[in-house]
Structure 1
Amino acid sequence: MSKNYRAEGAEIDKRVGALFKAAPAPMKPYSQLVSAVSGDGALSGKVKELMALSISIAIRCEDCIVFHLRAALKHSATRAEVIEAISVAIEMGGGPSVVYGGRALEALDAFAE
């Protein structure tokens, strides 16, 4: 039985939103950092989100995987691009990244439904 990744994404948004309200002083500069680095530059926003997805898999952050996969898809990342990003994570993270890469693939398929 696969997870409900759409609901999980909404829960992540809710928790992050609550943190922004509870701790605006540190979260405002963090938000500015995210805005400064996530837009198109020498690398496209899509490439940056795919990079963030790979890192999320390699560091084994389940919520980060959902967050950055969803963002990559919003940037029109294709299934093939996501699978290559998962492969890079496996190269860098070894066996544990295989397990978390499987989670990312499961989430990709769930978002595609």
Structure 2
Amino acid sequence: MTYKTYADDLDQRLGQLYKTAAKPMQAYGGLVQAASSPGEIDSKTKELMAVAISITSRCEDCIVYHCRSALQHGATEREIAETIAVAVEMGGGPAAVYGARALAAFRDLKS
């Protein structure tokens, strides 16, 4: 499965959750919108931060979601690579493994 297909599957799964648990998920969606909107920190930087947190949290779905969002906000592969390096610095060996997943996801989603 490509990460593009993975992202499409993730969208479908999240869509089902939003339908099934509409009220709490709408509240969560509001939080996501408020937190990721540009303010003192631009949206691209916030998405790169989310990629780093996704890596250290070992959340593959989060990695794919935030790599795609970072790409949509103009992130480059070099920026993703630096983000991965910071995550590895903070998360050690497991972050290196999930960092490799993030790079693969970014490259696949970019193509």
Q: Which residue of structure 1 aligns with residue 12 of structure 2?
A: 14
After superposing on structure 2, the runs of 4+ consecutive aligned residues of structure 1 that deviate more than 2 Å are none
Query: Contact (CA 8 Å) 2:71, 2:110: kept in 1 or not?
Result: no
Out of 101, 104, 111, the residue aligned to residue 102 of structure 2 is 104
Code of the aligned partner of 1:40: P
- 1: CA distance, partners of 2:10 / 2:100: 20
Q: How big is the alpha-carbon RMSD for the aligned residues of Structure 1 and Structure 2?
A: 0.8
1: CA distance, partners of 2:90 / 2:5: 29
Match of 1:46 in 2: 44
Task: State the AA in 1 paired with 2:60.
Answer: E
CA deviation profile, 1:35-82 (whole Å, cap 9, x unmatched) = 111111000000000000000000100000000000000000011111
Q: How many Å apart are 1:108 and its aligned residue?
A: 1.7
How many pairs align?
Answer: 111
Which structure 2 segments of 5+ residues have no match? Answer: none
Q: Which runs of 5+ in 1 are unaligned?
A: none
Q: SS of the counterpart of 2:74?
A: coil
2: distance between equivalents of 1:84 and 1:9? 23
The alignment's TM-score, normalised by the length of structure 1, stands at 0.95
Aligned to 2:84: 86
